[in-house]
Amino acid sequence: MVKNYLNKKNILITGVTSGIGKILTECLSSYGANIIMLSKNEAELDAMYDEMIKKDKTDPLILKCDLEKLNEENASKMSKIVQENYANLDAVIFNAAILGKMSDIESYDQTTWEKILKVNLTSTFLMAKNLLPLLKESINPRIIFTSSSVAKKAKAFWGAYSVSKAGLNALSEIISDEVESVSSIKVFNFNPKATRSKLRSLAYPAENHKIIKQPVDLIDYYLWMLSDESSSSNKIYIEYGDDLTSK
């Protein structure tokens, strides 16, 4: 890809201060995109902002937000902040998620259950709802959800995380069906599969992380989903390893 492949594209990414979100933010910024960075880690956000300004000469924006505390009012304010800084929004990548704990349902506590659903699912609904008007102002806008293998095939002990990801699958299908005939928004739901991250380490503490692929190995998939080429694709669900040249 050429250096200015995403020149002046305005892309909002959640969970940017670690794992896939951080690498994705750094890579897309290096291709010229203005990254709207959402995280609750203010110190890391500031450091990343300074680095992008210096290295990439882009126009990033910080949105400090604890997704567990996000409500309708705050989501609306967030949308207005984006609108005040950019003429439109070209893409949203919903990357942020928390695992909570690995537990059987009988032992699962309500507090943890509700927290996982709020961070992983409800906050995504609130942001999508309030950002859709800005996305409709773009020429080839994208919404990219982050799926998981336990979204389609639930497994024991994955609890609220699996439920939240299954909910995101449904949400992506609903939004895709609703916008298909009234806008140029393209919706994808991407399953990165086993990728080196803090969440992966928590889920599989005994796993040798050195044999797991790194977040940078996912970049070509995101670049394809953000490209004009993907506009003609009939796919909503994309998994790491898929042939992106097929319809």
Grade residue 195 by pLDDT with cuts at 50, 70 and 90.
confident
Asked if residue 186 belongs to a domain, the reply is: yes
Asked if residue 54 belongs to a domain, the reply is: yes
> pLDDT tens digits for 44-59?
999 999 999 999 999 9
For the chain, the average pLDDT equals: 92
Q: Which residue has the higher pLDDT, 34 or 195?
A: 34
Beta bridge partners of 11: 35, 91
DSSP 214: P
Rounded Cα distance between 143 and 226, Å, is 9
Please give the pLDDT value at position 239: 94
> pLDDT tens digits for 201-235?
766 666 677 778 898 999 999 999 999 999 988 89
Asked if residue 123 belongs to a domain, the reply is: yes
Please give the pLDDT value at position 212: 84
Asked if residue 246 belongs to a domain, the reply is: no
Using the structure block, give the residue that is written with the tokens 């995403």.
6
User: How many separate domains does the chain show?
Assistant: 1
Domain holding 124: CATH number?
A: 3.40.50.720
> pLDDT tens digits for 98-136?
998 899 999 999 999 999 999 999 999 999 999 999 999
Torsion of CA 148, 150, 151, 156, to 10 degrees: -150
Grade residue 3 by pLDDT with cuts at 50, 70 and 90.
low
Please give the pLDDT value at position 200: 67
> pLDDT tens digits for 66-85?
999 999 999 999 999 999 99
Asked if residue 223 belongs to a domain, the reply is: yes
Please give the pLDDT value at position 100: 87
Q: How far is CA 60 from CA 14, 20, 25, 80, in A?
A: 13, 18, 10, 16
User: Mean pLDDT lowest for which of 187-191, 205-209, 240-244?
Assistant: 205-209
Asked if residue 3 belongs to a domain, the reply is: no
In the sheet where 237-239 sits, what is the strand order?
61-64, 34-39, 10-14, 91-94, 142-146, 186-191, 237-239
Asked if residue 245 belongs to a domain, the reply is: no
Tell me the CA end-to-end span of the chain in Å, nearest whole number.
22
Rounded Cα distance between 234 and 237, Å, is 9
Question: 146 is in which domain, residue-wise?
Answer: 10-239
Helix 123-135 to helix 159-179 angle (10° resolution) is 20
Asked if residue 1 belongs to a domain, the reply is: no
Q: What size, in residues, is the chain?
A: 247
Q: Is it the case that residue 1 has pLDDT exceeding 70?
A: no
Please give the pLDDT value at position 63: 97
